Amino acid sequence: MKIPIFVALDVDCKNEALTLAKKVAPYVGGFKLGPRLLIKYGESIIQEVAKLGEVFVDNKYHDIPSTVYSAVQSTFDAGATYVTIHASNGHECLKKLAQLERELNKQRFFKILVVTVLTSFDENNKPSNWQDKPLSDQVYDLAREAFSAGLSGIVCSGVEVKSLKEKFPQGFFVTPGIRLAENSADDQKRILTPGEAIRRGASALVVGRPIVKAQQPEEAASRFAQAISM
C-alpha cells in the first residue's frame, strides 16, 4: 500500500461514497466499507470502490467458526483485500481462518485483520463483564491469540501499537482512532495523531469523520497524508 491510510466511507449512499472516494483517492491507499453501505449495496459497491483503491470490509465478524469462515470467503469472493473478524472468536476459529488466509493468498493478496479492543473503549466505559485487567493487557492477550493461531493482521489503537510491535515485529497493525490535534475525538477514546501512530509502529491508519465530514475532504486527506510522510 503506497499511502497507508484507509478512509472509512461512513456515509449513507453509494453515490456519496464514490464521489468522496474519487476526491480523496490521490492521498490515501484504500477505503473501508462497513455495514452502513454493505447492507444496501453489497458486492457491487465493493467492486466499484476497488477501482479506486484497496477495499477493507469492516463487518467485524463474530460468530461460530463455520459462519465466520464462510463470511470471510464471501468477502474475498466479492473483491475485498482486507476483512475484519473479532479475536474473541477463539483459537479454533482463528486457526481455521489462518489456514483460509494462506489458501486465498495463493490466488491474490488478502489479509484478515483481527479486532482486539475497540478504540471507543477506555478503562471508564469498557463493558462491565470484562476481566478486571487493564485494556492494554486485554489487547495484548487477544493479539497473542491471533498470532499463535497464525494470523498477523491486528486492529488496535495507536496507544498499544508500540508494545505490540516490539513483541510481534511480524504484525500488520491497523489503527483507527486517528485525529489531528484540531479534530474532535467524537466517540473515540484511545486516539493518537497520524504521525505518532506511524512512529509507534502502525502499518496503516483508519480515518473516518475527520476526512468524511471535512468541508474539503481532499484537503483533509492531503493533511493526513502529509502528517505521516514527515
- The dihedral region occupied by 56, where left means phi > 0, alpha psi between -120 and 50, and beta the remainder, is beta
The residue count for binding ligand C5P (CB under 6 A) is 16
* 165, amino acid identity: K
Q: Residue 160, interface with ligand C5P (CB under 6 A)?
A: no
Q: Residue 209, interface with ligand C5P (CB under 6 A)?
A: yes
Q: Residue 152, interface with ligand C5P (CB under 6 A)?
A: no
Catalytic residue check, 23 = no
Q: Residue 197, interface with ligand C5P (CB under 6 A)?
A: no
Q: How far apart are CA 102 and CA 193, in angstroms?
A: 33
Which range of residues in 101-109, 124-132, 138-146, 203-211 is near ligand C5P by CB under 6 A? 203-211
- Rounded (10°) CA dihedral 194, 32, 159, 94: -150
Q: Residue 38, interface with ligand C5P (CB under 6 A)?
A: no
Q: Residue 10, interface with ligand C5P (CB under 6 A)?
A: yes
- The dihedral region occupied by 90, where left means phi > 0, alpha psi between -120 and 50, and beta the remainder, is left
Q: Residue 138, interface with ligand C5P (CB under 6 A)?
A: no
Which residue in this structure is represented by grid cell 477501482? 51
Residue 69, φ and ψ in degrees, nearest 5? -55, -50
Q: How far apart are CA 140 and CA 81, in angstroms?
A: 25
Which range of residues in 12-20, 45-53, 99-107, 113-121 is near ligand C5P by CB under 6 A? 113-121
Residue 136 near residue 122, CB atoms below 8 Å: no
Grid coordinates belonging to 112: 484478515
Q: Residue 65, interface with ligand C5P (CB under 6 A)?
A: no
Single out the residue of 34, 65, 90, 150 in contact with ligand C5P (rule: CB under 6 A). 34
* 140, amino acid identity: Y
Least distance CB 101 / ligand C5P (angstroms): 19
In this structure, the number of other CB atoms found within 10 A of the CB of residue 13 comes to 13
Cβ proximity to ligand C5P: between 76 and 224 the closer is: 224
Cβ proximity to ligand C5P: between 8 and 142 the closer is: 8
Q: Which residue out of 60, 95, 126, 162 is catalytically annotated? A: 60
Least distance CB 177 / ligand C5P (angstroms): 6
Q: How far apart are CA 111 and CA 10, in angstroms?
A: 21
Mind telling me the catalytic residues? 60
Contact footprint for ligand C5P (CB under 6 A):
8, 10, 34, 58, 115, 118-119, 155, 176-177, 186, 188, 206-209
